[in-house]
Amino acid sequence: MKKIKIFISSVQSEFAKERKMLFDYLMEDALLGLFFAPFIFEKVSALSRKPDDLYLDEVSVCDIYIGIFGKEYGNEDDKGISPTEHEYNLAASLNKTRLIFISTNPSTERHPKELSLIKKAEQEVIRKKFTVSAELKTFVYASLINYLEEKEYLRTGPFDAATSAESSLDDIDKEKIVQFVREAKAKRGFSLSEQTPVKEILTHLDLLKNGKPTNAAQLLFGKKPQHYFISSEIKCARFHGYDVVKPIPSYQIYKGNVFQLVDQAVDFVLSKIDLSVGSRESSVVVPVEYEIPQAVVTEAIVNAVAHRDYTSNGSVQVMLFKDRLEVWNPGTLPPELTLSKLRVAHGSFPANPLIAEAMYLAGYIERIGSGTRDMIRLCKEAGLSEPEYRLEDGFRIIIWRTGQPTGQPNGQPNGQVTGQVTGQPIGEVSDEVAEQIRRVIVAMNGEMKRSEIQKILGLKHREFFIDNYLSPSIEAGVIEMTYPDTPNHPKQKYRLTAKGLELKVKYSTQDT
Domains and CATH numbers, the chain: 4-154 (3.40.50.450), 160-225 (no CATH), 234-400 (3.30.565.60), 428-511 (1.10.10.10)
pLDDT at 423: 34
Confidence of residue 349 (pLDDT cuts 50, 70, 90): confident
pLDDT at 415: 45
Highest mean pLDDT among 147-151, 492-496, 507-511: 492-496
pLDDT, tens digit (0-9, with 9 covering 90-100), for 189-239: 999 999 999 999 999 999 998 899 999 999 999 999 999 999 999 999 999
CB–CB of 64/6 below 8 Å?
A: yes
For 73, phi and psi rounded to 5 degrees?
Answer: -105, -30
**Gap between the Cα atoms of 75 and 96, Å rounded:** 24
Q: In the chain, pLDDT over 70 holds for what percent of residues?
A: 88
pLDDT at 375: 93
pLDDT, tens digit (0-9, with 9 covering 90-100), for 151-191: 767 756 578 888 887 889 999 999 999 999 999 999 999 99
pLDDT at 123: 83
pLDDT, tens digit (0-9, with 9 covering 90-100), for 306-332: 999 998 889 999 999 999 999 999 988
For 294-305, the three-class secondary structure string (H helix, E strand, C coil) is HHHHHHHHHHHH
Confidence of residue 413 (pLDDT cuts 50, 70, 90): very low
Average pLDDT over residues 135-158: 82
pLDDT, tens digit (0-9, with 9 covering 90-100), for 27-62: 999 889 999 999 998 776 544 456 667 889 999 999
**Residue 120's CB: how many other CB atoms inside 10 A?**
14
CB–CB of 50/100 below 8 Å?
A: no
User: What is the chain's mean pLDDT, rounded?
Assistant: 86
User: Residues 6 or more apart from 295 whose CB is under 8 A from it?
Assistant: 374, 378
Q: What is the separation, in whole angstroms, between the first and last Cα of the chain?
A: 71
pLDDT at 134: 87
Confidence of residue 284 (pLDDT cuts 50, 70, 90): low
pLDDT at 419: 36
